[in-house]
Structure 1
Amino acid sequence: MSTQNTFREELIATARAIATPGKGILAADESTGTIGNRFDKIKVENNEENRRAYRDLLLTSENIQEYISGVIFFEEQLLQKSDEGVLFPELCKQKGMVVGIKVDKGVKPLYGTDGETEVQGIDDLDKRCQKYYQQGARFAKWRAVLKIDSKTGCPSELSVHQNAYGLARYAAICQNNGLVPIIEPEVLMDGDHTIEQSFAVHQRVQAAVVKACHDHHVLWEGALLKPSMVQPGSTSGKKASAKEVAYATVTCLQRTMPPALVGVNFLSGGLSEEDATLHLNEMNKIKERVPWNLSFSYGRALQASCLKAWGGDKENKKKAQEAFLVRAKANGLATLGKYEGGNSAESSESLFVANYSY
């Protein structure tokens, strides 16, 4: 019996638990450098204790489990504890939330292309997955990054192929070591492309990922997809409505993804907190039936208001938690198509960062 068969039932159960309707994923997997950039904006020193305190704030938010089914960690968090001395993975388990772990090691140049990239971290991934499983993780994340540039022909066939097969190889390794893979082929918002050009690239990328995953015998019933939304480029001068983005994004999935896939947890990709929620809500209002749970795996779009409210001051902990729960609840409703709109201009501020990496 293969290792994948050994984990088969657990992988399926884990994926279904994460894909619970009304809930989504908190992407709290910022690297030390990335969380430092966010702390800089609120004038908070980037040290281990401040990082721990902020993560404690998120994970101890009252009834967080009503809206969050899984939390993606950066490796440091697996060994950190709450103010009450409980390891973060155990705290999540107590609340019924599944622990995930970022396992890619960032991007490096894909030589022979016009500034395109590939992801590193495959070499020792099997050993790291085994360690993370022992530390309580049950799903993983690997982010591939592709860009659109009609002038240079990006994404190139080499970039699409290399990133698709990297994602598939990662997914197969994770499943053979007990972790549900989140397959994340992100097409960046950067560029002046139209929504039609974005659709064509998303369809080509997602089709390539599906082909590669089939070639690597990935168990779709024990996997999740984390795609970007189909929308115009950030410098196109055009903004598509939430309905337009939703229709294009769902149509693309219908044309590429197998029904066996359990759930789709979108990344926010630099959208404002409010837009990320509205786009997801419109997807779940589309009449045409889809076989997947459509949900979220947001980082910035769940945390921006929370970080501002916190400001590094422990006296602001409750206020920050309330801001976080507002966004968590809003997105929980959006997974059901029941979100009725926001009430804060602050949540509509753009969170876009050019050529975003973390």
Structure 2
Amino acid sequence: MSERLEDIAIAMVAKGKGILAADESSGTIKKRFDSINLTSTEDARRDYREMLFRADDAMKNYISGVILYDETLRQSARDGTRLADLIKAAGSIPGIKVDAGAKNLAGFNGETITEGLDGLRERLNEYYELGARFAKWRGVVAISDTLPTWGAVRQNAQALARYAALCQEAGIVPIVEPEILMDGVPGDHSIERCYEVTDLVLKTVFNELYDARVKLEGMILKPNMVIDGKNARKASVEQVAELTVRVLKANVPSSVPGIAFLSGGQSDVEATAHLSAMNAGYDMPWNLTFSYGRALQAAAIKAWGGKDENVPAAQAAFTHRARMNGLAATGAWTEAQEKNA
């Protein structure tokens, strides 16, 4: 495919397709394996991800790109095929998580800054040679009645912009991911409060991207949806869709090719329903799609259980969720399809 940033970005948000976030850190994947009583070894992690990447129906029809962890980008399948080449063979694009995680921000109690800028230029050049054509960096923003502070929002936005500029220099499309934590502490914020914070964060992020001379046509935004906290009253699907579209229209330039949402603590079906409502109910200048991790994988990992004989069932579970979200990315998902599939 074309190596132009704009063309790669457009392919990543192709209509009816979305991005599989398979970039769980070693600690996160261990927690998921603990849930099925499986020891997290390098071979087990490879086998699990190979199982997903060989789910041909899901990968070819509903997955446009896969975000990988450093280990996975370097791994080969049991038969010796590089995992990145499995992804390419399915017509999907390999990507890579490049941040080093959110750490406590000095002087800002309860807030974090994402690290990983040191040496990033050299790592991006290596990842390009390994086949990655897009990258991801997650900036985490705490939310409460008093948080976030302006200082924390600005510093995370600056880091996202510096990362994005370095990606484009290396010929890699940056996914810019500012996440307001739905499931953070105390997690009782209203949907209106989430709107206020999301509005501030997106305004700040795009100001910093502009100042960093990031080409908006060659990036993807990965935001949270506007949603209430995990311990708050649950807003309706329609309200989530309306407020999310409103904040995007207020802040995201139309030159951005697409927006791929994170699922951010929502259940599998909630994340699908909200995405479909946005695509069905509103005219927008960008393609709206998904970049889900747990919301695509939870059913598959449970069905797999770490056993080879369960691979077909696990792939079927993954394909079902990928298909449901593919429908949502066109506004065509319904509860009846969810239940009857």
| Partner amino acid, structure 2, of 1:228 | N
| Partner residue, 2:164 | 171
What are the within-5 Å matches in structure 2 for residues 143-182 of structure 1?
143-150=138-145, 153-182=146-175
| Counterpart selection for 1:300 from 270, 294, 304 | 294
After superposition, what is the alpha-carbon deviation per residue over 1:159-196, rounded to whole angstroms, capped at 9, x for unaligned?
11000111001000000011100000000013211111
- The CA distance in 2 between the partners of 1:130 and 1:243, in whole Å, is 43
| Partner residue, 2:71 | 76
Confirm or deny that 1:90 pairs with 2:85. yes
- The CA distance in 1 between the partners of 2:289 and 2:337, in whole Å, is 21
Q: CA 1:108–1:231 in structure 2 vs 1: closer, same or farther (change >3 Å)?
A: same
| Counterpart selection for 2:50 from 49, 53, 56 | 56
Structure-2-length-normalised TM-score: 0.96
| Partner residue, 1:101 | 96
Structure 2: state its 5+ residue gaps: none
Contact 2:56 2:90 in 1 (8 A): no
- The CA distance in 2 between the partners of 1:326 and 1:41, in whole Å, is 21
Q: CA deviation at 1:95?
A: 1.4
| Partner amino acid, structure 1, of 2:108 | T
| Counterpart selection for 1:124 from 119, 125, 141 | 119
| Partner residue, 1:46 | 40
After superposition, what is the alpha-carbon deviation per residue over 1:214-270, rounded to whole angstroms, capped at 9, x for unaligned?
00000000000000010111112x001111101111110000000000110000001
What are the within-5 Å matches in structure 2 for residues 265-284 of structure 1?
265-284=260-279
Give me the identity figure in percent.
Answer: 48
- The CA distance in 2 between the partners of 1:282 and 1:220, in whole Å, is 26
SS in 1 for 2:280: coil
| Partner residue, 1:202 | 198
Structure 1: state its 5+ residue gaps: 1-7, 346-358
- The CA distance in 2 between the partners of 1:19 and 1:323, in whole Å, is 23
Q: CA deviation at 1:311?
A: 0.4
| Partner residue, 2:256 | 261
Q: How many residues align?
A: 335
| Counterpart selection for 2:307 from 280, 299, 313 | 313
- The CA distance in 2 between the partners of 1:52 and 1:291, in whole Å, is 38
Confirm or deny that 1:215 pairs with 2:204. no
- The CA distance in 1 between the partners of 2:158 and 2:56, in whole Å, is 40
- The CA distance in 1 between the partners of 2:35 and 2:337, in whole Å, is 23
Structure-1-length-normalised TM-score: 0.91
- The CA distance in 1 between the partners of 2:338 and 2:221, in whole Å, is 30
Confirm or deny that 1:225 pairs with 2:221. yes
| Partner residue, 2:329 | 335
Contact 2:68 2:96 in 1 (8 A): yes
Contact 2:110 2:142 in 1 (8 A): no
| Partner amino acid, structure 1, of 2:152 | S
- The CA distance in 1 between the partners of 2:280 and 2:264, in whole Å, is 21
Q: CA RMSD in A?
A: 1.4
- The CA distance in 1 between the partners of 2:216 and 2:138, in whole Å, is 18
| Partner amino acid, structure 2, of 1:304 | A
After superposition, what is the alpha-carbon deviation per residue over 1:292-330, rounded to whole angstroms, capped at 9, x for unaligned?
000000000000000100000110000000000000000
